[in-house]
Amino acid sequence: MDRGPSRSPMSAAGLWALVLSLALMALSLPRPASAAGGFRCRPGARPVVFNFGDSNSDTGGMAAAKGWHITPPEGRAFFHHPTGRFCDGRLVIDFLCERLNITYLSPYLKAFGSNYSNGVNFAIAGSTTLPRDVLFALHVQVQEFMFFKARSLELISQGQQAPIDAEGFENALYTIDIGQNDVNALLSNLPYDQVVAKFPPILAEIKDAVQTLYFNGSRNFWIHGTGALGCLPQKLAIPRKNDSDLDQNGCLNTYNRAAVAFNAVLGSLCDQLNVQMKDATIVYTDLFAIKYDLVANHTKYGFDSPLMTCCGYGGPPYNYDLSRSCQSPNATVCADGSKFISWDGVHLTEAANAIVAAGILSSAYSKPNLKFDQFCKV
C-alpha cells in the first residue's frame, strides 16, 4: 500500500543531516502532553498499584500458593518474622508503596490478612514469561488480574462492596518486574549469541501483557529492567574453568552482557508502546544500572562484601552453596545484613533494596524520567 509521497533517493550525508535535525527538534520541542507526558490519575485519588512479577517483588504469593513454611532469618531486619518475601526485610515494591503512602501490597493468593484496597500483588517467586500458560507465568498473572477486576465490578454492579472500583482500576499504576528468570534459564543452557536470539518471544509476552491491560483500560505503567545477573553469588559460585569471564568488579561478563542486552530491547519496547498507546504512559527503569552501581561503588553505600551472601554457606568469596542455601537448616547468617548487598545469593538485602528503590524514585534511571511520586500526586 502506498503510504505517502514516493521516496526520493537520499545520500548518506543528507540522511544523517535529516536525522540530526530531527533529533535536535525533538530536544527543543516541548514534550507533548499526551504521549508519555504524565500519569493519568485524578488529583487527590487514592493511589492504587497492581504489581506483576517474580520473587523480586513477591510479597508472599508463592508461600501462600504452595503452603511453604518460610522460616527465619527471612524477614528479621524489618518485619521480625518471615512474610513470604525472600529477603531480610522490605522489597523494592514495599519502598515504592511507602513513597505513595499506601500499605504494602497483599498477595492475590493470600487468604488471610489481605487488604486489597490499595491494589494487589500478583508477583510469584520463580515466575517467567514463558511458557505462557504455566503457573505463574506473566500471562497467568494478567488473567488473575482480569478475574479480580471482573469480579470486583460485578460485585459493585450488584450493590455490594469491593476493595477497588472502576475508577480505581482506571487510575491505577501497573508495575511489571519480570524477565530475570527467563534470561537466567536461557544462560544456563545456551551460549550467549543463542540466548540473545531467544529474547523476542520473551519481549512479546511483556508486550502482550501491557497491551491486554491497556485494552482493558489501564493507562499508567512502570516497567523494570532486569538486574545485574552476573554479580549474583549464585551465578558466581557455579564452578568455572578460569576467571577470564570476570570483569573488574568480579562479576560475570556473560551474564551481565545478557542482562544489558535484554534491557536494551525491553527499553525499546517501552518506547514503542509509548508511541502506539498515545494516551498511556509507560515508564521504563534500568534496574541493571542501579544494581551494578551498588556493586561497583559498594563502599560508597556502606557495603563490605558486594559479592558475598549474608545468608548462605561456605564463607568467602561468595558464601553460597546450593545445597546449603538460606532456607536450608545448615545455612549460616551474618550479624549485620546492612553490610551486604546479597541476602541469599539471588535476592538482595533490605539495605540494598532501599538503595535500588531510591534509584527508581530519583528518576535518573528512567525514561521518560517522570518522578514516581508524580503518580497520583501524593
Give the nearest residue (CB) to ligand NAG: 293
Query: Is 28 marked active-site?
Result: no
Q: Of 334, 329, 294, 327, which is closest to residue 310 (Cα–Cα)?
A: 334
Here the cell at position 316 is 568467602
Query: Is 81 marked active-site?
Result: no
Residue 180 · residue 226 · CB < 8 Å: yes
Q: Which of 208, 247, 293, 373 binds ligand NAG (CB under 6 A)?
A: 293
Query: Is 344 marked active-site?
Result: yes
Residue 252 · residue 313 · CB < 8 Å: no
Q: By CB under 6 A, is residue 117 in contact with ligand NAG?
A: yes
Q: Do the bridges between strand 366-367 and strand 281-285 make them parallel or antiparallel, or are there none, so unpaired? A: antiparallel
Q: How far is CA 207 from the centre of its chain?
A: 14
Q: By CB under 6 A, is residue 6 in contact with ligand NAG?
A: no
Least CB distance from residue 252 to ligand NAG, whole Å? 11
Distance separating alpha carbons of residues 331 and 319, to the nearest angstrom: 9
Q: Which of 21, 103, 272, 369 binds ligand NAG (CB under 6 A)?
A: 103
Residue 277 · residue 218 · CB < 8 Å: no
Q: Which of 34, 115, 157, 194 binds ligand NAG (CB under 6 A)?
A: 115
* E-only strand ranges, 7-48: none
Distance separating alpha carbons of residues 176 and 137, to the nearest angstrom: 12
Q: By CB under 6 A, is residue 114 in contact with ligand NAG?
A: no
For residue 273, CA distances in Å to 68, 225, 226, 319, 326 come to 38, 15, 18, 42, 39
Q: By CB under 6 A, is residue 101 in contact with ligand NAG?
A: yes
**Looking at this protein, which amino acid is placed at residue 216?**
N
Q: Of 124, 105, 109, 123, which is closest to residue 62 (Cα–Cα)?
A: 124
| Active-site hit among 94, 182, 286, 344 | 344
| Active-site hit among 54, 55, 182, 366 | 55
Least CB distance from residue 322 to ligand NAG, whole Å? 10
Q: By CB under 6 A, is residue 98 in contact with ligand NAG?
A: no
Binding mask of the shown chain, residues 184 to 223, with x at each position contacting ligand NAG by CB under 6 A: -------------------------------xxx------
Q: Which of 34, 194, 253, 297 binds ligand NAG (CB under 6 A)?
A: 297
Q: By CB under 6 A, is residue 364 in contact with ligand NAG?
A: no
| Active site members | 55, 344, 347
Using CB under 6 A, list all residues that contact ligand NAG: 101, 103, 115, 117-118, 146, 150, 215-217, 241-242, 244, 292-293, 296-297, 323-324, 330, 378
